[in-house]
Amino acid sequence: MARILVTGASGFIGKHLVPPLRDAGNEVFEVDISSGDVAEESTWSVFPRSDVVLHLAGKTFVPDSWADPAGFIKCNLLGTVSALNYCRRNNARLVFLSSYLYGNPKVLPIPETAPLVVNNPYGLSKKLAEEACWFFSDSFGIPVTILRLFNVYGPGQPEHFLIPSIIRQVNAGHVIRVKDLEPKRDYVYVKDVAQAIIKGVDCREGFRIFNIGSGTNHSVEELIRIIQSIMKTDLPVEVDAERRKDEIMNTVADITASKHHLGWAPRWTLHRGVQDMLFGDEPAFKGGETWKE
């Protein structure tokens, strides 16, 4: 058992993380937007002492980062520095949720040692936060575990992300419209991500970085086919033939280190994960006759 402070506890991943943490007997203190700005040191001064901080809070949607790069850097970098300062004061360890930072990879699957390539303000904010984690760990001895998340999906994800968007369009029953069918991504289910974070609670020393992905990849075209198969539809697909600047065409996480050193491996395939989104305890969309069994 541990005293655990979770930032971003009411967010997409946090909602899937807090219940199993409590079920395991941990004392969990939840921090969300109502608790104050995590980028401000004064916000952290009122939090109770904890053994470990799970730092989930941050701005996440890449397109928004182009409109507000300063806001993303303030929240994601200074919020992480404030978390590190809290750990320094309270002799606590940190688990930091980072992101995919490898750009267009030269080798697949992608190991944690691959070069980091920043191609948007969101990625820059996460890279700078990782550098702060390394500095505080090296200079002050704070145990830090960084989890580089690949493409997370699951119940509660905002609809502007790809998988919820496709499900919504299939549920509407008209046509599925996407920008590009070709890009391949490593999709990892949010419940697997929650278990990876829980494993990180037991990392008690040093500075470690782990990829968190499924170790497989799927194109947008394959994704649509899987979703339509599960939802028993055969809707037409329209493609805008619009490719974003610096589009990453293929990603697969090398999760060897996560398996060997973190003791974590994904349990959910993409097919099972989408099924759980639609028909599990917390379905992503309710009331749509198109997909109801």
Q: Please compute the mean of the pLDDT values over residues 274-291 and round it to a whole number.
A: 64
pLDDT tens-digit map of 245-279: 778 999 999 999 999 999 999 999 999 999 999 99
Q: What is the pLDDT of residue 286?
A: 45
Whether pLDDT at 221 is above 80: yes
The torsion angle over the Cα atoms of residues 61, 94, 32 and 81, rounded to 10 degrees, is -70
Kindly report the average pLDDT of the chain as a whole number.
94
Within 8 A by CB and 6+ apart from 239, the residues are 177, 178, 179, 180, 181
pLDDT band at 95 (very low <50, low <70, confident <90, very high): very high
Asked if residue 250 lies in contact with residue 105, where contact means CB atoms within 8 angstroms, the answer is yes
Q: At residue 199, does pLDDT exceed 80?
A: yes
pLDDT in tens, 6-44: 999 999 999 999 999 999 999 999 999 999 999 999 999
Say which range, 184-193, 206-215, 224-233, 284-293, has the weakest mean pLDDT. 284-293
- Tens digit of each residue's pLDDT (9 = 90 or more) over 227-244: 999 999 999 999 998 777
Domains of the chain: 3-154+188-215+252-268 (3.40.50.720)
